[in-house]
Amino acid sequence: MRPPTPPATLERLQPTLVLATLSAAFGSAFQYGYNIAVVNTPHQVFKSFYNETYFERHGTFMDEKVLLLLWSCTVSMFPLGGLLGSLVVGLLVDRCGRKGTLLINNIFAILPAILMGVSKVAQAFELIIFSRVLVGVCAGISYSALPMYLGELAPKNLRGTLGTMTEVFVITGIFLAQVFSLQAVLGNPTGWPVLLALTGVPALIQLLSLPFFPESPRYTLIQRGDEETARQALGRLRGRAADVEAEMEDMRAEEREERAAGSLSVLNLFTFRALRWQLITILVLMAGQQLSGINAINYYADTIYISAGVEPAHSQYITVGAGIVNMVMTIISAVTVERLGRRPLLLAGYGICGSACLVLTLALLFQVWRSTVPELSYLGVICILTYIAGHSIGPSPVPSVVRMEIFLQSSRPAALTVDGAVHWLTNFIVGLVFPSVQSTVPELSYLGVICILTYIAGHSIGPSPVPSVVRMEIFLQSSRPAALTVDGAVHWLTNFIVGLVFPSVQEAIGAYSFLVFAGLCLLTAVYTYVVIPETKGRTFVEINHIFAKRNGVEIPEIKEEVTGVGPHIPSVPAKETAL
């Protein structure tokens, strides 16, 4: 009798696959997260350097408006570089391969790391601004090339987990940047050159380690036509016990459909009916991810923390706390995406984000109204009476019944001793602490902080990590580079727009700006529910067939070719594309 086959997850999660994922993600996605956050906390230190440099050159300090403009350029050059990088990634991944693109991309991390590291010695703040463009290009390329590489390395039962590694390492980069940016660590006048130069370390590690891991087997087989190398790569990634030939056949099936579809350019992608809803889906997911307010929330968080009575010098530690929430929830998403699926995480995440934005709007409005509308005091009285009524029908009387019923006669005296001690101890603590808490917490500001943390948690379980998985799964090999070029361009463009426009919008409509984000969360969730299918556990070809029905096209049956006769011929773009 044949022994039972071990579960696919245990069989296929090989050391080579794990190490290749770590090498690729740490050297790529980490750059994105690190360089988003590294300039936020120590911004006053950087501004002082700009001003001192200007004084040494001109004998006078910089005008405040000019300084603000320079700092805005420093921050906004990063997403601008990301947009530039996203526009060239399609060409690079086709010509140099997925792994090759990641290796070449390290140039755009190591060079700016050197330039930023020597900017203080050179007394040239222009090096920082120029370097932010270069690391933005690095992030733009890696944000599209990395999910492509990891998605094509992974077996279908681990594709979701490996796909979320892009966001896991982005969040890890943000968190470590927040820690290193603390004034007590490197966020000070002497340590900031090292803080900025650290972005070159992950790139150097990747440059030394990634060459030892295989190129994407799908790229090798479908686009290069090298069947033997693809088989060897799968053998290393899946282990000896895996059914490599079955996966090779899946790739051949995808290739046969590729020959019918042909290779698509970015312009062709917008006119190709068979990919219409896939294209709309990545546009909605990427725009929804950014326009739902994640960057605006980060921009506004410091103001809310300070309004909560936190000293400005201590708000940086709350920012680190928010980073921990972000990282923990993203890891939870990575662990559960293959169990719960893509759709539930997206829907839950947008639901939490939208609800948090609504409550945050009310909290901010009540802070204003309470000082300007005295009649709202009646609302406070009604809330107190309602609270007393609610507590009186359950939380007050029922525990006295339950505590008697859940213990037998012998254990009841000891249990009620503990019960009474907890009752009176918590009573004493509330009576002692509440007056101090009430007098030091301005109105509903703590609720604002809770809303921010809740929003970050919600975004971290769905809207942030899951699109990196879905955008890989809904396109076949030939259309994936063009699709991820569009995807990356939308991501970076909306990122740039939110960073540029939100301060003006917030100043114009105040707390109501978060209602805009709540509405966008709702619209994205509705689209997800109506249009996006569950892709968990499906092959790329199966997913393509699901979308073919929505696109109103038929996929012709393609006769299976006789294998083993002559060399393998890679896919050739067809003149007429039809699925």
Give yes or no: residues 183 and 288 share one domain. Answer: no
pLDDT of residue 561: 44
Question: Which residue range forms the structural domain that includes residue 363?
Answer: 264-386+438-579
What does the alpha-carbon distance between residue 282 and residue 466 come to, in Å, rounded to a whole number? 11
Question: How many Å apart are CA 31 and CA 169, to the nearest integer?
Answer: 9
In a shared domain, residues 502 and 562: yes
Tokens of 302: 């410091």
Asked if residue 238 belongs to a domain, the reply is no
244 falls within a domain: no
Residue 174 domain-assigned (yes or no)? yes
Number of structural domains found in the chain:
2
- CATH code at position 290: 1.20.1250.20
CA–CA distance, 146 with 152 (Å, rounded to integer)? 10
Residue 13: count other Cβ atoms within 10 Å of its Cβ: 19
The parts of the chain modelled with pLDDT lower than 50 are: 1-11, 439-441, 558-567, 569, 571-579
Three-state DSSP class for residue 427: helix
Q: How far is CA 539 from the centre of its chain?
A: 24
User: Cα–Cα distances in Å, from 65 out to 39, 45, 389?
Assistant: 19, 17, 56
Residue found under tokens 């036509």: 225
537: CB partners within 8 A, 6+ apart: 156, 157, 338
pLDDT at 478 (0 to 100) = 75
Cβ-based burial of 372 (10 A; exposed 0-12, middle 13-18, buried ≥19): exposed
pLDDT single digits (tens) 80-119: 899 899 889 888 988 899 999 999 999 999 999 999 999 9
DSSP string, 273-329: GGGHHHHHHHHHHHHHHHHTTHHHHHHHHHHHHHHTT--TTTHHHHHHHHHHHHHHH
124 in helix, strand or coil? coil
Give me the sign of the Cα torsion angle 232, 237, 238, 243: negative
Query: Which pLDDT score, from 0 to 100, does residue 203 have?
Result: 95
| Pair (170, 282) in one structural domain | no
How far apart CA 167 and CA 329 sit, in angstroms, is 11
Within this chain, do residues 183 and 303 fall inside the same structural domain, yes or no? Answer: no
pTM to 2 decimals? 0.75
The span from the CA of 213 to the CA of 208, in Å, is 11
Contact predicate 152/98, CB 8 Å:
yes
Classify residue 44: in a domain, yes or no. Answer: yes
Three-point CA angle 135, 137, 139, nearest 5°? 70
Are 277 and 483 in contact by the 8 Å Cβ rule? The answer is: no
Looking at the structure, tell me whether residues 209 and 328 fall in a common domain. Answer: no
Measured between alpha carbons, how far is 363 from 358 in angstroms, rounded to an integer?
9
Largest CA distance in the chain: 88
**Is residue 243 in a domain?**
no
528 touches 350 (CB < 8 A)? yes
Angle (nearest 5°) at CA 569 between 567 and 574: 160
In this prediction, residue 260 carries a pLDDT of 62
Q: Are residues 173 and 287 in the same domain?
A: no
Q: What distance in Å separates the CA atoms of residue 461 and residue 331, rounded to the nearest whole number?
A: 8
What is the amino acid identity at position 201? V
Residues 272 and 162 in one domain: no
Q: Which residues contact 455 (CB under 8 A, 6 or more apart)?
A: 293, 294, 297, 352, 353, 356, 357, 360
d(CA 543, CA 278): 10
Looking at the fold, whether 48 and 164 belong to one and the same domain comes out as yes
279 and 171 in a common domain: no
pLDDT tens-place string over residues 525-575: 999 999 999 988 888 888 888 888 888 887 655 444 444 434 454 544 433
DSSP code string of 336-365: HHHHH-HHHHHHHHHHHHHHHHHHHHHHHH
Domain-located, residue 397? no
CA dist., res. 432 & res. 123, Å (int):
55
206 in the same domain as 299: no
Q: 191, 213, 235: which is the final residue of a domain?
A: 213
